[in-house]
Amino acid sequence: MSHLLTSTLAFFTPESGGSSNANQIDSLYKITLYIALVIFVAVEGALGYALWRFRARKGAVPAQIRGNTRLEVGWTIAAAVILVGLAVLTFAKLASIQDPANSSANGEQSVGESGLLYASADRKLPPNGKSLNIQVIGRQYIWQYVYPGASEPDGLGAPYSYEQMVVPTNTTVTLDIVSEDVVHSWWIPELGGKFQAVPGYHNYAWFKIDKAGVYRGQCAALCGRSHARMIATVKAVPPAQFEAWLAYQKQEIGQANAEAKVERAKLGSQTGAGQVENP
Amino acid sequence: MATFLAPVPQVVAHRATDPSSAGEAHGWTSWITTTDHKRIGIMYMVTTFVFFCLGGVEALIMRLQLGAPNNTLVTPQTYNQLFTMHGTTMIFLFVVPMMAGLANYFVPLMIGARDMAYPRLNALSFWLLLAGGIVFYTSIFWNPPEAGWTSYAPLSNAIYSPSGGQDAWIFLIHLTGLSSILGALNFYATIANMRARGMSWGRLPLFIWAILTYSILIIFAMPVIAGAVTMLLTDRHFGTHFFDPANGGSALLWQHLFWFFGHPEVYIMVLPGFGIVSEILPVFARKPIFGYKAIAASTVAIGFLGFLTWAHHMFTTPIPEAILVFVMLSSFIIAIPTGVKMLNWIATLWRGTIELRTPLLFCAGFLALFLIGGISGVFLAVFPVDWQLNETYFVVAHLHFVLVGGSVFTIFAAIYYWFPKITGRMLDEGLGKLSFYLMFFGFLATFLIQHVMGLDGMPRRVYEYANVGHLALYNQISTVGSFILAVGVLVTIVNVVRSLKVGVVAGPDPWKANTLEWFTSSPPPVNNFDVVPLVRSVEPMKDIRREVQQRSSGATVSGGATVPTGATQVGV
């Protein structure tokens, strides 16, 4: 029975369960839903009752009423009061949705040493100022994730991945969302709201996953013909596993870059850079 | 006695000359050259209804594509073109100009005028609309636009959308926008200057209040989109960079400009519908409108507030929190006058004697559906909640509840209500009711379930989806519903075509309605009225009928000696 109730409610509510901000949005949504249901039932009920009760019958005389100022003022104020209440609730919930929480004790621990976690001043950060910051780059039609740990100036040499983002559990992850071409929108429903990646702008989001697992989403803003295929997944793994993955990724990318450097040098000595363009 | 005699409604207006003689023009050239507001109105309505059918076919193809997961009926490119054409068609070539068509036909009649203030400008408005539609639809023979009806930059810029279809879209906005602005100026001038004697602002029919507000919104909002698409055009072809972030332009600027137009556009589309409902409900409940002043005032209030809420379409963009909060609150505030109207309409039905004829059914359908669209709108106004719902099928459902529930159902109510006036014949009630029930339940089947698809994480504007959860089932329900809805529309088309030939002859005032268009014959003659009666209330026809009754009973008492048969005293 309770299972049926839960699944019925899930039918009417957004995805949640991955991160606390998604859960808070879900509970704000549910409050709105309960208020809405009362209004819906009352107004549709009044409409249906009026259509049935006051349909033309023999001998019925329509009441020639032109209005009722007190009633009209009354329901205007009632509507305003409901909306004021909803606004107050939204403001009360806002902090828990917008402001990132601290990482848990069993989250990623390499604080401030590896450069894995760093603080930034231009957006909301956890109270202790520490989070794993990942840059999310939207491109037609793939998401790229750049992790901290650049080995060269201008952020070069940082580990990155495409499509699947790997993150440590119990760790606050802050996202810096940008785009390299058109407008995209980052969205993993179970991890909270969506945020547009607009070229020329930075947008910010955060999540903190307690349960290891894979969370799925996709680009939510029309970005061209393959928009439907621009999917994104977030894979949460225990911190130790995450560190191993990141090290492996960094090593692979470093190795590939080194090989490319050798290849480039080889090509340069064979043909000479100038010869290609001016034979 | 300082009175003059006017004939009873049945014979109030005559053709200036015998139609069979050379007085009234005939043939197709007479339609092309006409400046008669009624003929222009008919051309508007027929043209826009054709576009409605085209937009509907596009929607059905999309629903077929989504009828199964990972379907390959159409290519991604075609799918993007379909939803771009569908949205653009329904908004710019159907709802807005259909309302202009209804207003063209009925504004002069309802205010007791003999034509619009600027008849030739009126004809120009129509021909600009048709030109816009032709320019846009011609693109289907080459490359239709594919950046969505919102055409967000930079996707709509030349690098990402090189085809001429995007330019066809820009020209459509220019041509239909100009058409709307000229039409709006004309409505404004007509309403401000050409009302019957005695029709003060407090006696203006509520449909006229709605058209007045619609006109003001168009005059303020359309130039903004005209400017925006001009900037897009020069970005695309003449080397400017208004929306190009790589060269100092702003991609967000497009969204601000677009929605500064786009949100008032929503009210441009639904306010006339509100006006139609406010006219029809009292007629079929046989009861005055409840709270005339509140409805008129809330129409104007919605028009004003409609300009303060545009950024609620941009809750997920990088904008300051102050804007998020402001726009959430302004969106809440606009819900109040809208909710007040809803309650006023239900109160109008309350304690009436409701005749469940087709026009009333469509109005009741509007009330039932628009309420759902209004409530889902409040969810979307709460910006943290919107972060989950924005750009999903929840929004698709919301906007269709507002625009099909709010505009299309009221347009159908208007068709059933005013068809007898326009053609002189009644539409068939049986077919009308069948059409209503098919449309109503077809609509619910199509769009109610789309809320759930959005909540389950299905974004809008995707040509395929994976077979996860119950998405396949939900989409199948929606697809089946859309075809039921389409059959409902088809029944009305059959009804219209059939009734033109065999419909019951209507007479001037078949519904015993309240406003002046029913004072003249059906269809009205070129000059509309031989005599324009003095207006003494918001329901002039009620006054006239009462007077006819009094006169004729008085005539019976006095033996009919002093009053000519079939005539009534109207006036001072």
CB contact under 8 Å between A72 and B344, yes or no, is: yes
pLDDT given for residue A271 in this prediction:
61
Rounded to an integer, the average pLDDT of B239-244 is: 96
Q: What does the alpha-carbon distance between residue A254 and residue A267 come to, in Å, rounded to a whole number?
A: 20
Rounded to an integer, the average pLDDT of A28-50 is: 96
- Coil, helix or strand for A202? coil
pLDDT given for residue B571 in this prediction:
40
Weakest-pLDDT range from A105-114, A235-244, B74-83, B475-484: A105-114
Residues of B in contact with A76 (CB under 8 A): 336, 340
pLDDT above 90: residue A116:
no
The confidence band for A156, taking pLDDT boundaries of 50, 70 and 90, is confident
The confidence band for B163, taking pLDDT boundaries of 50, 70 and 90, is very high
pLDDT given for residue A155 in this prediction:
67
pLDDT above 70: residue B499:
yes
pLDDT above 60: residue A275:
no
Size of interface A-B (CB pairs under 8 A): 241
A139 HSE (CA, 13 A, CB side)? 9
Mean residue pLDDT of chain B comes to 92
pLDDT above 50: residue B565:
no
Q: Which of B37, B195, B341, B451 is catalytic?
A: B341
SS3 content of chain A, % helix, strand, coil (to 5): 45, 20, 35
CB contact under 8 Å between A64 and B80, yes or no, is: no
Q: What does the alpha-carbon distance between residue A44 and residue A191 come to, in Å, rounded to a whole number?
A: 35
Rounded to an integer, the average pLDDT of B183-200 is: 97
Residues of chain A with pLDDT > 70, as a percent, come to 90
pLDDT above 90: residue B548:
no
Tokens of A233: 């997944």
User: What DSSP letter does each residue of B226-281 carry, written as one string?
Assistant: HHHHHHHHHHHHS---TT-GGGT--HHHHHHHHHHHHHHHHHHHHHHHHHHHHHHH
pLDDT given for residue B10 in this prediction:
45
Closest alpha carbon to A230 in A111, A144, A154, A105: A144
In angstroms, the separation between the Cα of residue B65 and the nearest Cα of chain A is: 13
Choose the mutation target among B143, B353, B360, B369 for the interface with A, i.e. most A CBs under 10 Å: B353
pLDDT given for residue B35 in this prediction:
94
pLDDT above 80: residue A9:
no
pLDDT above 70: residue A114:
no
What are phi and psi for residue B405, nearest 5 degrees? -60, -45
Cross-chain CB nearest to A194 (options B355, B390, B462): B390
- Assess whether B313 carries a catalytic annotation: yes
Cross-chain CB nearest to B382 (options A51, A65, A90): A90
pLDDT given for residue A119 in this prediction:
42
pLDDT above 50: residue B105:
yes
Radius of gyration of chain B (CA): 25
Residues of A in contact with B294 (CB under 8 A): 67, 72
pLDDT digit string, tens, across residues B266-315: 999 999 999 999 999 999 999 999 999 999 999 999 999 999 999 999 99
As for the ipTM of the complex, it is 0.91
Q: What does the alpha-carbon distance between residue B330 and residue B377 come to, in Å, rounded to a whole number?
A: 12
- Coil, helix or strand for A84? helix
CB contact under 8 Å between B343 and A203, yes or no, is: no
CB atoms within 10 A of CB B527: 14
pLDDT above 60: residue B181:
yes
The confidence band for A278, taking pLDDT boundaries of 50, 70 and 90, is very low
pLDDT digit string, tens, across residues A70-95: 999 999 999 999 999 999 999 999 99
Weakest-pLDDT range from A36-50, A62-76, A260-274, B379-393: A260-274
Question: C-alpha distances in angstroms, B128 versus A257, B134, B167, B174?
Answer: 60, 10, 17, 9
Cα-Cα end-to-end distance for chain A? 80
pLDDT digit string, tens, across residues B356-403: 999 999 999 999 999 999 999 999 999 999 999 999 999 999 999 999
pLDDT given for residue A268 in this prediction:
76
pLDDT above 80: residue A2:
no
What are phi and psi for residue A203, nearest 5 degrees? -125, 150
Measured in whole angstroms, the distance separating CA A268 from the mean position of its chain's CA atoms is: 45
pLDDT digit string, tens, across residues B35-55: 999 999 999 999 999 999 999
Q: What does the alpha-carbon distance between residue B144 and residue B83 come to, in Å, rounded to a whole number?
A: 11
What are phi and psi for residue B204, nearest 5 degrees? -70, 130
pLDDT given for residue B567 in this prediction:
41
Closest alpha carbon to B438 in B362, B527, B326: B362
**β-pairing, A172-179 with A132-139?**
parallel
Closest alpha carbon to B211 in B302, B275, B267, B122: B275
Q: What does the alpha-carbon distance between residue B83 and residue B64 come to, in Å, rounded to a whole number?
A: 13
pLDDT above 90: residue B554:
no
Rounded to an integer, the average pLDDT of B120-126 is: 97
pLDDT given for residue B24 in this prediction:
58
Rounded to an integer, the average pLDDT of B207-231 is: 97
pLDDT digit string, tens, across residues A186-244: 999 999 999 999 999 999 999 999 999 999 999 999 999 999 999 999 999 999 999 99
pLDDT above 60: residue A3:
yes
Higher pLDDT, A241 or B26: A241
Measured in whole angstroms, the distance separating CA A37 from the mean position of its chain's CA atoms is: 27
User: What DSSP letter does each residue of B102-155 carry, written as one string?
Assistant: HHHHHHHHHHT-SS-S-HHHHHHHHHHHHHHHHHHHHGGGS----STTTT-TTT
Tokens of B152: 């967000």
Are B140 and B164 spatial neighbours (Cβ–Cβ below 8 Å)?
no
Residues of A in contact with B386 (CB under 8 A): 193
The confidence band for A69, taking pLDDT boundaries of 50, 70 and 90, is very high
The confidence band for B28, taking pLDDT boundaries of 50, 70 and 90, is confident
Q: What pTM does this model have?
A: 0.92
Tokens of B58: 């596009």
pLDDT given for residue B15 in this prediction:
54
pLDDT given for residue A130 in this prediction:
85
Residues of B in contact with A204 (CB under 8 A): 318
Tokens of A91: 């403001």
